[in-house]
Chain A
């Protein structure tokens, strides 16, 4: 394989010309039978194609009856092209099948053939096609080139969200034994060990004790990193990358310092030592729910009053948008199942709460003080993580997910610069590594998918000497750490919002 390099910045940043099949060979490793079976999927494709064919169509029919999104989105598209130049993977790869509409059509063509009258009668006319092994391979390739970031759904006049179709495709592929190794292996680990990285409880405890020593050495203050403390007020659920990856760990230190300054007792859980929920990436409701249930179990066992979520994009989507549905973390339940948990939680607070909401609330009430000069070496911009921006909220008003992290940055640092319009807030570009694509064999795709973000970053670097891009997502942090150097940036340009908080927070006078 040729060495992977970054594509050139677009000189005139308009629509790229098409390069058909440029990425047809890009596909992640297929999950082994062991990985598949560990989470309840068939180990491999059936030997007889007809069996697989029938199973795919049956599964598609089942999903069409369970998900209104899929049904409406497959019917409603008029091929207007509004989404066609909006996907970061299309911009970076120029492969036309990475246009959101073309990606949807990979499935829509099969839907039309088997589920609609015109497709049954006049397949050629309406772009319908038979399901063949080649079609299924194409699904595997291109539905694993979508990070489920929802940027296309912002621009679609009917709100068609390609992520919903990608999730359905992955669900179908899994159900016939054609799963993706990276995501499914991680789901196995989260069930077996408690987190995506396979960090066992003793190692976690060791890491946290080490952190206490480090912070003590650094600040002279006993900032605690509690694990499995019963009766704590707050249970913090954070991505496991926060426990040891760089720069993630600096944000974990930031959360601990904020809790320390707030005086609120808190704990991590070894059982639920992972905020990430890859069940969402593979579109499997049962896995999504089962992974979330660990959080509910931990909350009940530890008797906490509040659940706070660390810096992680899709995890915050799952927590904010889905937890109340899946496991009853939230309010307004009328069923006994959720009422038990909701009686335990203190509903005067938002449940669940984002760590940024927690920190900003404290700042607003004057509960934190900062030495802003400590961040003066940084000229900071903010990368909105896709799932936080377009699939969740913070605070009490629509768009709080944009304002609150920025407000925190401005409260603890002096130099803040926005990237260009059209590349931030609801129109932000995905980092290029979301949706279960953060795996080495997809590095070429990830580098190309980062192009529009890197262009926007380069602009503010050139105009304002920006040298720090804050973000609140573990996947964004890992992805940028890897691809920034390929675009000529230092990898330490990326970091967390609570890393900046950690740099500047004053602990001594509390």
Chain B
């Protein structure tokens, strides 16, 4: 079983890295022939960096749109971010001090993440417009994330798992020196779901994460009169 999980995670990491790497490369190599920032837009590179930071960390546009989606989305993403950082302790030895510092908040973050996901799912089910646009995969994605959160939390609140053993397993994987994974059904489930999430990431709507950085309406500088902006294929038309 330990070997199976190790192989699964090696595969998942490979698919995630290559798939995401390819997607980012694909976004980056595709030209943006016209300047189309949604205005009013920043007129400097620094301004664009700030706009992007507000978008990524504060969900500025979503805030303008709808406070319910913003609230639930913020709870989920902030919770997830904290939970991910907290999980660094399974991959570092000794544990970095700032990671150790936030350990106590990780549990609340897990709860926050679950609550956010429930909020998003309730909206998806009960708001007519959002139900209309939902595909089965939209529901499954929420189910997957919620199951990851629930299985993770249950190892904290219901049946503790041998986290020292888990840590040894992952440190071993990182050093290509396989260690046994504690035999625990909930742990197996949790890891299986996480691997599944990593595997589907590059092929699904989770691409919104790299996508936002490449969105021309958000990452372009509003300076068309000052600087000529032209894509290679468009420049060819002038020859």
| Chain A residues close to B by CB (< 8 Å) | 15, 17-18, 64-69, 71-73, 75-86, 96, 99, 101-102, 105, 116-118, 124-127, 150, 153-161, 164, 285-286, 289, 320-325, 328, 330-335, 337-338, 350-352, 389-393, 397-399, 401-402, 426-427
CB pair A72–B137 under 8 Å, yes or no, is no
Interface pair A81/B123, CB less than 8 Å apart:
yes
The residues of B that contact A101 with a CB separation of less than 8 Å are 133
Nearest A residue to B43 by beta-carbon distance?
Answer: A398
Are the CB atoms of A321 and B61 closer together than 8 Å?
no
Partner of A82, one of B26, B65, B215: B65
Residues of B at under 8 Å CB distance from A?
23, 26-27, 30-36, 38-43, 47, 55, 59, 61-62, 64-66, 69, 73, 120, 123-124, 127-130, 132-138, 140, 200, 203-205, 207-208, 211-212, 214-218, 222, 224-231, 233-235, 237-238
Q: Is A393 within 8 A of B222, CB to CB? A: yes
A127 to B135, CA, bound (A): 6
Q: Is the CB of A78 within 8 A of B208?
A: yes
List 5 A–B pairs whose Cβ atoms lie within 8 Å, in order of A's numbering: A76-B212, A83-B65, A96-B132, A285-B34, A350-B225
Looking at B30, B39, B207, B224, the one whose CB has the most chain A CB atoms below 10 A away is: B39
In the complex, the answer to whether B228 meets A398 with C-beta atoms within 8 Å is no
Q: When the two chains form the complex, which single residue of B61, B69, B140, B218 contacts A81, counting CB atoms closer than 8 Å?
A: B69
Q: Which residues of B contact A102 (CB under 8 A)?
A: 132-133
Known contacts A81-B127, A158-B211; decide if A321 and B27 are in contact (CB<8 Å).
no
List the 7 closest A-B pairs by CB distance, nearest first.
Answer: A76-B211, A127-B135, A155-B65, A159-B217, A398-B40, A82-B65, A159-B218
Structural contact, B137 and A118, CB atoms closer than 8 A:
yes
State A392–B66 Cα separation when bound (angstroms): 25
Task: Return chain A residues, CB-CB under 8 Å to B230.
Answer: 325, 335
Q: Considering the chains assembled together, what is the distance between the CA atoms of A85 and B234 in angstroms?
A: 36
**With A161-B38, A393-B39: A335-B238 Cβ-Cβ less than 8 Å:** yes
Write out the residue numbers on chain A whose beta carbons fall within 8 Å of the beta carbon of B140.
Answer: 125
Verify A321–B224 contact, CB threshold 8 A: yes
Taking CB atoms, residues of chain B closer than 8 Å to A397 are 43
Residues of A with C-beta under 8 A to B32: 67-69
Closest to B229 in A: A325
Q: Contact check, A66 vs B31: say whether CB atoms are below 8 A apart.
A: yes
> B211's contact among A72, A82, A390, A401, by CB below 8 Å, is which?
A72
Q: How far is the CA of A351 from the CA of B217 in the complex (A)?
A: 23
Asked if A390 and B225 sit within 8 Å, CB to CB, the answer is: no
When the two chains form their complex, are residues B135 and A125 in contact, meaning their CB atoms are under 8 A apart?
yes
- Contact B62–A124 (Cβ < 8 Å): no
- Shortest C-beta distance, B89 to chain A (Å), equals 30
CB distance from A292 to the nearest CB of B (A): 12
Q: In the complex, what residue of chain A is closest to B209 when comparing beta carbons?
A: A76
Q: Determine if A79 and B134 form an interchain contact, defined as CB atoms under 8 angstroms apart.
A: yes
Complex contacts, A76 vs chain B, CB 8 Å: 205, 207-208, 211-212, 215
Given known pairs A154-B64, A155-B65, the reply for A79 and B130 (CB within 8 Å) is yes
- Knowing A15-B129, A338-B228 are in contact, say whether A161-B217 is a contact too (CB < 8 A): yes
Whether B30 contacts A398 by the Cβ 8 Å rule is: no
Determine which of B35, B39, B128, B137 lies in contact with A398 in the assembled complex, contact meaning CB atoms within 8 Å: B39
CB-based nearest B residue for A109: B135
Instruction: Please indicate the chain A residues that have their CB under 8 angstroms from the CB of B55 in the complex.
Output: 157, 159
Which of B120, B132, B212, B234 is within 8 Å of A158, CB to CB?
B212
CB distance from B155 to the nearest CB of A (A): 28
Complex interface: chain A residues within 8 A of B23 (CB)? 75
> Once bound together, how far apart are the Cα atoms of A84 and B131, in whole Å?
11
Chain B residues within an 8 Å CB radius of A154: 38, 61, 64
Distance in Å from the Cβ of A157 to the closest Cβ of chain B?
4
Q: Please tell me if the beta carbons of B238 and A82 are within 8 angstroms of each other in the complex.
A: no
Q: Are A324 and B39 in contact (CB under 8 A)?
A: no
- The listed residue (A79, A105, A330, A334) touching B224 by CB distance below 8 A is A330
Q: Tell me which residues across on chain A come within 8 A of B217, comparing CB atoms.
A: 69, 150, 153, 159-161
Known: A18-B132, A285-B237. 20 other contacts (CB 8 A): A73-B215, A75-B211, A77-B208, A78-B208, A79-B134, A79-B205, A80-B69, A80-B73, A81-B66, A81-B130, A118-B137, A150-B38, A154-B38, A157-B73, A159-B215, A324-B225, A325-B228, A393-B222, A398-B42, A398-B47
Select one of B65, B137, B225 contacting A126, CB under 8 A: B137
Min distance, Cβ A399 to any Cβ of chain B, angstroms: 4
Which listed residue (B73, B135, B238) contacts A79, Cβ 8 A? B135
A330–B226 CA distance with the chains assembled, in angstroms = 6
Shortest beta-carbon distance, A283 to chain B, in Å?
Answer: 10
Contact status B224-A325, CB under 8 Å: yes
Give CA–CA (A86, B231) in the complex, Å: 32
Docked pose: A158 CA to B226 CA in angstroms: 26
A321 touches B137 (CB 8 A): no
Are A335 and B226 in contact, with the CB atoms below 8 A?
A: no
Contacts of A150 in B (CB 8 A): 38, 217
Give chain A residues whose Cβ lies under 8 Å from the Cβ of B64. 154-155, 427
Partner of B30, one of A65, A83, A156, A285: A65
Residue of B nearest to A388 (CB): B39
Question: What residues on B are CB-neighbors of A64 within 8 Å?
Answer: 30
**B21 to A: closest C-beta gap in Å:** 15
- Within the complex, what minimum Cβ distance (angstroms) separates A428 from chain B? 12
Given the complex of chains A and B, what is the CA–CA distance between A302 and B71 in angstroms?
A: 58
Q: With A and B bound together, what is the CA distance between A15 and B35 in angstroms? A: 32
Complex Cα–Cα for A75 and B33 (A): 19
Q: Which of B133, B226, B234 has the most CB of A within 10 A?
A: B133
CB–CB A157/B129 < 8 A: no
Neighbour of A352 across the interface among B214, B225, B238, CB < 8 A: B225
Residues of A within 8 A of B200 (CB): 118
> B42, B61, B129, B226: which contacts A331 (Cβ < 8 A)?
B226
Q: Tell me, in angstroms, the Cα distance from A126 to B133 when the chains sit together.
A: 11
Shortest Cβ distance from B58 into chain A, in angstroms? 10
Chain A residues closer than 8 Å to B228, beta-carbon distance: 324-325, 328, 330-335, 338
Partner of B33, one of A17, A82, A325, A351: A325
Q: Is the CB of A72 within 8 A of B214?
A: yes
Whether the Cβ atoms of B218 and A158 lie closer than 8 Å is yes
Task: Please name all residues of chain B whose beta carbon is closer than 8 Å to the beta carbon of A286 when the two chains form the complex.
Answer: 237
Please tell me if the beta carbons of A398 and B41 are within 8 angstroms of each other in the complex: yes
Identify A18's interface contact among B34, B128, B134, CB under 8 A. Answer: B128
| Interchain CA distance A78-B124 in the complex, whole Å | 12
Contact present for A398 and B135 (CB under 8 Å): no
